[in-house]
Structure 1
Amino acid sequence: MRVLLIAGGWSDEREVSLSGAKGIHSALLELGHEVDMLDPAQDFGNLMSRASQADFAFINLHGSPGEDGLIQAILNRTSCPYQGSGPESSFLSLNKAATKTIFDHNSILTPKWELICSIDGCKGIQNLKPPVFIKPNSGGSSLGMTFAKTEQEMQYGIEKVFSMGDSALVEEYTRGIEVTCGILGDEPLPLILITPPEKAQFFDYNSKYAIDGAEEICPAPIEEKLTKQIQEITLKAHKLLGLSGYSRADFIISETVPYILEVNTLPGMTPTSLVPRAAKTAGYSFNMLIEKLIELGKNR
């Protein structure tokens, strides 16, 4: 089968995307597929023509133009199927405020939040006091995130996000442990407990990708009842957002109460990334996971 592997792009997460694409490329070759690589930042204008010549597209993009649904919308204008979710659900999920609106409306617990925009008349932070997390509303990999413990740090965090050209999502700090749960098809994967290194204030970019980053334990050593509850919430969120194929939801467990933080529609896909790690615990090798995602994409 001819697979168009789409990676790179123009977001701040470009290097993460290219790094993950190396493992996917190797896996596709080992599975007997013919691989054609396309970087939207370098060959966007030929996307439709090259997709029309492929049997399948495997998207490994983070941020825009993959997680925002743009690539999927273009692929929908060709005969080329792809793995993962479609344009609308991808767009909704990348926007943190949009997903939290859906969570709140459907009684899924998420930390209190406010959306702050850099426009005249925006009132700024009204209801939250430090400590808070301040994040780009449509970014990933914890890039641009600030853990603000003072009013001054809050203002710095907002200005930092605005300098990136984004609106700011301010989220109440919830003390607890962090876990993540993946979905493959319609089945929740084993939970992963994430413990950032002592020097890190939270699960930041360095904790995610550095050699000496966070400790990740799978399956997470938490009680079965709570594990099932988080898996059920993850599947509910997956369906409410209209997602397909796979996704990953991040949680904070405060005492015994899980709060969902956000949902990722194109999770990292290096062999040691979170979803591949959980899939391995569930019995899928990395190559098997890639093949499963292709199968799900073709059958969608």
Structure 2
Amino acid sequence: MKIAVLYGGTSGEREVSLSTGKGIIKALENKGHDVTPIDFSPEKMEEVLNLDVDLVFIGLHGRFGEDGKIQGLLDMLGIPYVGSGVLASALAMDKAKSKQIFSLNGLHTAKSEVFDVTDQHQFSMIEDKIKRTFTLPFVIKPNQEGSTLGLTIVKKEQDIRQAIETAAHSDSMILVEDYVKGREVTVPVMGYKGKEQALPVIEIIPKNDYYDFDSKYKPGGSEHIVPAKLSDKLTAQLQQDSILAHQLLGCDVYSRVDFIINENEEPIILEVNTLPGMTPTSLFPDSAQAIGLSYDDLIQKFVELS
């Protein structure tokens, strides 16, 4: 097939997307496809507008890639693409909205509140409200950003203001939520709509305090245990919750669902990634490997599902 790969982009996750794109391009070429690589930028829109391909494989992360905007453009152009559509992408990217949907449907989420940070004069008021509402430690992060960019685990009251400013650099809305201590796990989901399957659960053991940008993308930054050493009951619940979360948002083809298992052995859902990393150190390919699916076969499977 003639397949265009959109990668790179202009978000804070550009470096990761460059690596994801390279992996996808190589895998598609290995499978005999005719590949057109595009390092995407909204300023070079004509590259997308003039595409003559059978399918677009989106290897972008974060803004203008994972948030539904590029999907809307491709829909208008009538070009099919791999992965979730506009609404599912936008909902998954908006952490506050997706959490509302999860909790309404019986999935455990951390207590949270969202604040508008477009007006800096409101920062003191927001700081006071956070102090009244949350007990230390808690997390302050951009509402729509990936790869833990702009995230702070606030352990002291005097750090709240700085954490608000850091998160506000990345987004006009920030999310404050209880810090849940526990084991970090993630579950890849793939399949036709209504027939999705969960892949083996992965436990992530970061070398830093939490699974931050360096832990995710630097070689040796974290250890992945696949399948995670959990009871059969907890494994089944995580896989079931992942498929439910994927379906509740209306995701398509594939996604990856992140959880923390708290001290009571309850899975607390964090978010759904509609375009999870596909770099050589990424989680989804690791989990696929555990069921005998090579990286190239996994990419080909996404093409077939699409």
Shift of 1:159: 1.2
The whole-number CA distance in structure 2 between the counterparts of 1:226 and 1:76 is 39
The answer for the alignment partner of 2:111 in structure 1 is 112
The answer for the alignment partner of 1:43 in structure 2 is 44
The whole-number CA distance in structure 2 between the counterparts of 1:279 and 1:127 is 41
Q: 1:11-33 deviations in whole A, cap 9, x for unaligned? A: 01111101111111111111001
**Is 1:195–2:195 an aligned residue pair?**
no
The whole-number CA distance in structure 2 between the counterparts of 1:290 and 1:45 is 26
The answer for the alignment partner of 2:18 in structure 1 is 18
How many residues were matched structurally?
A: 293
CA contact (8 A) 1:95 1:138 kept: yes
The answer for the alignment partner of 1:73 in structure 2 is 72
The answer for the alignment partner of 2:296 in structure 1 is 287
The whole-number CA distance in structure 2 between the counterparts of 1:184 and 1:173 is 29
Shift of 1:167: 1.5
The whole-number CA distance in structure 2 between the counterparts of 1:128 and 1:45 is 47
Letter in 2 for 1:189: L
Shift of 1:212: 2.5
CA contact (8 A) 1:5 1:25 kept: yes
Is there any run of 5+ residues in structure 2 with no aligned partner, and where? Answer: none
CA contact (8 A) 2:16 2:279 kept: no
SS at match of 2:50: helix
Q: 1:74-95 deviations in whole A, cap 9, x for unaligned? A: 1112232111100111001001
**Is 1:254–2:262 an aligned residue pair?**
yes
Map of 1:177-256 to 2, 5 A cutoff?
A: 177-185=183-191, 186-197=196-207, 200-255=208-263, 256=265
Map of 1:75-154 to 2, 5 A cutoff?
A: 75-118=74-117, 119=119, 123=126, 124-125=129-130, 126-154=132-160
The whole-number CA distance in structure 2 between the counterparts of 1:16 and 1:44 is 21
Letter in 2 for 1:111: A
CA contact (8 A) 1:130 1:150 kept: yes
The answer for the alignment partner of 1:54 in structure 2 is 53
Shift of 1:100: 0.8
The whole-number CA distance in structure 2 between the counterparts of 1:165 and 1:30 is 39
Shift of 1:64: 1.2
**Is 1:9–2:15 an aligned residue pair?**
no
User: TM-score normalized by structure 1?
Assistant: 0.94
The answer for the alignment partner of 1:155 in structure 2 is 161
The whole-number CA distance in structure 2 between the counterparts of 1:263 and 1:11 is 18
The answer for the alignment partner of 2:173 in structure 1 is 167
CA contact (8 A) 2:2 2:33 kept: yes
SS at match of 1:116: strand
The answer for the alignment partner of 1:176 in structure 2 is 182
Q: 1:74-123 deviations in whole A, cap 9, x for unaligned? A: 11122321111001110010011111111121121011111121146665
Identity over the aligned pairs, expressed in percent? 45
CA contact (8 A) 2:57 2:82 kept: yes
SS at match of 1:76: helix
SS at match of 1:39: strand
SS at match of 1:111: coil
Letter in 2 for 1:110: T
CA contact (8 A) 1:253 1:259 kept: yes
Shift of 1:210: 1.0
SS at match of 1:139: coil
CA contact (8 A) 2:91 2:98 kept: yes
Structure 1 residues 79 and 117: alpha-carbon distance in aligned structure 2, compared to 1, 3 A threshold = closer
Shift of 1:265: 0.3
Is there any run of 5+ residues in structure 1 with no aligned partner, and where? Answer: none
SS at match of 2:133: coil
The answer for the alignment partner of 1:296 in structure 2 is 305
Shift of 1:213: 0.3
The whole-number CA distance in structure 1 between the counterparts of 2:246 and 2:15 is 27
Letter in 1 for 2:215: S
Shift of 1:45: 2.7
The whole-number CA distance in structure 1 between the counterparts of 2:273 and 2:160 is 25
The whole-number CA distance in structure 1 between the counterparts of 2:239 and 2:170 is 34
What's the RMSD between the two structures over aligned residues?
1.4
